[in-house]
Amino acid sequence: MSTTTVDVLIVGAGPVGLFGAYYAGVRGLSTAVIDSLSQVGGQVTAMYPEKEIFDIAGFPAVSGRKLISNLVEQAAPYNPTYVLGQEAQDLQRVSDEQGRERLVVTTSGGETINTGAVIVTGGIGTFTPRTLPAGEDFLGRGLEYFVPSSAEYAGQDVVIVGGGDSAVDWANMLHPIARSVTLVHRRDKFRAHHGSVAQMESAPVEVVLNAQVTETVGGDRLESVTVTPKTKGEEPHSIPCTRLVAALGFTANLGPLREWGVELHDNRHLVVDPAMRTNVTGVFAAGDITEYDGKVRLIAVGFGEVATAVNNAAVHIDPDAQLFPGHSTDNQPAVPQPA
């Protein structure tokens, strides 16, 4: 078991958490960032890395991948410690040698993080994809639940299962490079944005409605799938498939955070005050996971919230610190150190 000691622990490595790591560095605070996913970026990296985002200040348009890359680069001079593929679990309070209260968080990997404050930026909490029972045997050998990179789909026969935004976005993203793209949806109407659906329907994407993938066939790798129509009288048929993407949505769970004693709204969001403090001393929150009167769940809003949380966390850690951090133009950014 290893112990990491930092000023601030950020729970969640999505866009808001990454900006928080940068801002903590500006305040001279050391930071660890923990996330249950094995890579940074949260839902942006996992679900729409190639999709253009249009409401980030200063960027007329930026892909999800580029946004995350820029945020990592922005935080890099301050050397945040990333603890990935692990979940924040137990929260305890201890006192240091000077009698100051510290928080100790134990991770699902058995690590401990000793910190002066915690900022939860976990979006919707830990999210787990809904499984495709017919394809589980090929998980990692043709079946995937996310498309973090389009490159490996080049020249492949791709079948996408689902009717939401992710399914349609991935169909639009992959058809220019794949050998073929087929989208199978068990209903006759889509939940996805109508503009994205119209784009897909005008593209060379085979759309199969009122049907399900009921069988996967192959050896070491996936080779084909069986599609079974729900309409009586229509027979199942096989189509080539070397890449199967199950975009069936996901389940979200606050997990161990529920045991921290944080006040919840609708059993899913953390209630915060204007300083982004929760009711648990030393625990702050920012981004989509928070709730307060007038809350708007946008990445742009989360950036401001996490800056507020970091500045108030700085004062919590050191009551003599100034709440206002000064302007970034007055401070020379840190220079990244060679690895």
Ramachandran quadrant class, 12 (left: phi over 0; alpha: psi -120 to 50; beta: rest): left
127 labelled as ligand-binding?
Answer: yes
Coil, strand, or helix at residue 162?
Answer: coil
329 is in an annotated binding site: yes
Inter-CA distances, 262 with 126, 251, 254, 280, Å: 16, 21, 11, 6
Alpha helices per DSSP H over the chain: 15-26, 42-47, 64-75, 165-174, 194-201, 299-317
Tell me: is residue 88 an annotated ligand-binding position. Answer: yes
Cβ neighbours, 10 Å, residue 1: 8
- Lookup result for tokens 């560095």: 25
State whether the Cα torsion 334-335-336-337 is positive or negative: negative
CA 286 to CA 255: how far, in whole Å? 17
- DSSP assignment of 178-214 equals SSEEEEEESSSS--S-HHHHHHHHTTT-EEEESEEEE
- Which residues 6+ apart lie within 8 Å of 48 measured at CB? 64, 165, 166, 169
Task: Report the alpha-carbon distance of residue 140 to residue 38 in Å, rounded.
Answer: 15
Q: What is the DSSP string of 47-76?
A: H-TTSEE--BTTBS-EEHHHHHHHHHHHHG
In 3D space, the residue among 103, 102, 107 whose CA is nearest the CA of residue 88 turns out to be: 107
Is 48 a known ligand-binding residue? yes
Q: Is 165 annotated in some ligand binding site?
A: no
Tokens 């996408």, residue? 160
In the annotated binding site, the residues are: 35, 43, 48, 88, 127, 288, 329
Binding positions for FAD are 35, 43, 48, 88, 127, 288, 329
